[in-house]
Amino acid sequence: SGATAKAAAAAKFYEALSEREKAFYNECGYYLYATAVDNITSWTYKSYTPKGLYDACVDIGNARYVDYFTVVIENITEPYNRADIEAAKAAYEKVPQSLKSKISVDTMEKYNAILASIAPDEPTGERPNVERMETTKVKYPAAVSGKKIDKTIDNVQTLLYQLLDVPSGGMSQLVSEGVYTNYTVALLAKKLYPLIGGISSMLAMGPEKLAAKLDKESCAGAIEALNAAANTLDEDGKKVDSVTAWEYVEVKDGDFGFKDGDKEGFLDAAASLFRPLSLVTMVITFENKADKTKGTYTYGAYEDLIPIFEALEIENVMSSDEYTKAIEAVSSSDDKMDRRIRPILAPIFELVDSVANAKAPLNALMEFLPKVAYAVDSGLVNTQVQAVIGKLGMGLSSKVDLDLTTSGLFDLVAPLIEKIEIKAAETDEQGNETVPAVLLGLKLDKEKFTKAIHDLAGCGKYTANQSVARGENWYVSIDGNARDAFIVFIRYAHSELATKENTAALKRVVKIGDYNFGQRLMYNILISLVHTASDDGAIRISAALLPTINFFIRVSKMFSK
């Protein structure tokens, strides 16, 4: 219109002035507009500076953005989606602050309703072409068939069962009696709280803090044990500090409100360990956050864990939307913390059960190894864990140095394996060490480890599966081939164990182990065969001799009772 054109020309003229000229006119320029009222018996006055007139001209020119915003909102229809929200927000951002009050009430009400409709993203993406992904081509040793490998896996499992004294109920019984226990819950607490306290003094707390958060009836035993540990006195008669106090926590069956062997009770108790850590929610948010006034949806740390769970093909993984709604459904801070933690712990122990409860646990483990290797080798695990670390607030993300690439995993695992304690240190009555502990002492090679992980990652058939994550609606995993994985793993293990140094370490373990003469003889024969034969030769010899070795070990155990 003509008025708009005049306003634009006036604004352009003002903008062309130098800063000095603008300052001069705004200081000295003063415009009065007089309007006669009451039959010209009096006057009203309005005054303007050049800057005020310029702003008015700009508003006249920008009035079109109000019209544009109104049209955009009118053309958005229900049901609203993420694209509608972004379009509405973009149009609103174009409206100058000075003109936002000119938007009609009805238009603003609809705009706010559009923002309030914010919901999780709808996953997108095409199905990955897994058929073109290259798998590992495993060549079996000469004269070793697939069926013979199956039998060898069974015989290795028997050997391990005898070596580890697995009970008659198998791995299922071992896990039930050794993992799902009150002792394990206490052990988790004894590791968790000193670790968190070491990250930040704000998070450091003693056993009494956990005791105050547990159910007073079902967890009476744990409460008593925790409070007793918190009141432990040192040699000078002073209470030990909050971190040291955790070392003195001792519990028995039933103390945490469940009987040993009860998996569900164990998970409930393990989740309850995090109740005192309310400050953690200030450091990191696990659930999603929807801001219905701004039209934003922010994903929490749990969403970043889903791709890892899915790559390992854990069943019944909750979506982050379901996870968030479950937390929002309860009101108390303790219940909310339980619902944050339990869905993260449960998948871990689902994996344990999937192997332990299998008809042939070692075979199941060999099928599972390629999934783990693929998740590591592809960089998925490290990427997702770094995403979680990146969400840490209060400057903690820079303090957490965790590399879960293949190289980083080696740097983490190799020293732990080398330092596995085979025989505890001996001490005198005063607690002074008289004989040092005996460590496993196996030294691993990073190059061999990296190649083994890469080869294991391709042992099987890649699959594309529907995802509950919000980024992509597909994820890639692998159906592991137990035979191929076993051959790759044994060849790697042979390359590590056949070194002179590691062979000596294994013989030292057998020497100090609680074995009779027959058992030591069989284990030493097996170690010597591994050391002297080639990798394929060791596989062939093991396939032939393991049944005999297992028989002699079983008989020697019978006579040693």
DSSP letter string, 58-93: HHHHHHHHHHHHHHHHHH--SSP-HHHHHHHHHHHH
192 within a domain of the structure (yes/no): no
Determine the 3-state secondary structure of 47 from DSSP: strand
Answer yes or no: do 554 and 432 share one domain.
yes
Answer yes or no: do 98 and 151 share one domain.
no
Answer yes or no: do 317 and 351 share one domain.
yes
Answer yes or no: do 97 and 164 share one domain.
no
Answer yes or no: do 316 and 443 share one domain.
yes
166 within a domain of the structure (yes/no): yes
102 within a domain of the structure (yes/no): yes
Please state the length of the chain: 561
Name the amino acid, one letter, at 529: L
Answer yes or no: do 492 and 540 share one domain.
yes
Structural domain span for residue 312: 143-180+261-559
Is residue 228 within 8 Å of 240, Cβ to Cβ?
Answer: no
395 within a domain of the structure (yes/no): yes
Answer yes or no: do 403 and 514 share one domain.
yes
DSSP 333-356: HHHHHHHHHHHHHHHHHHHHHHHH
Answer yes or no: do 394 and 538 share one domain.
yes
C-alpha 365 chain-centroid distance: 22
Domain tally for the chain? 2
Strands 296-298 and 433-435: unpaired
Is residue 279 within 8 Å of 209, Cβ to Cβ?
Answer: no
| Residue 347 to residue 352: CA distance in whole angstroms | 9
Answer yes or no: do 162 and 98 share one domain.
no
129 within a domain of the structure (yes/no): no
19 within a domain of the structure (yes/no): yes
pLDDT in tens, the chain (561 residues): 677 777 777 777 777 878 887 777 767 665 555 555 555 555 555 666 777 776 777 777 778 888 899 999 999 999 999 999 999 999 999 998 888 998 999 999 999 999 999 998 887 788 989 999 999 999 999 989 999 999 999 999 998 898 788 888 899 999 999 999 999 999 999 999 998 887 767 778 999 999 999 999 999 999 999 999 999 998 888 999 898 999 999 999 999 999 999 999 999 999 999 999 877 777 789 999 999 999 999 999 999 999 999 999 998 899 999 999 999 999 999 999 999 999 999 999 999 999 999 999 999 999 999 999 999 999 999 999 999 999 887 777 777 889 999 999 999 999 999 999 888 888 877 778 788 888 889 999 999 999 999 999 999 999 999 999 987 789 999 999 999 999 999 999 999 998 999 999 988 888 887 777 777 787 787 788 777 888 888 888 888 888 888 888 787 777 665
Answer yes or no: do 64 and 165 share one domain.
no
Q: What angle do CA 179, 184, 190 make, to 5 degrees?
A: 150
Answer yes or no: do 340 and 417 share one domain.
yes
Element (H, E) at 460: strand 460-466
Answer yes or no: do 343 and 475 share one domain.
yes
Let me know if 242 is exposed, middle or buried by CB neighbors in 10 A (0-12, 13-18, 19+): middle
Is residue 317 within 8 Å of 284, Cβ to Cβ?
Answer: no
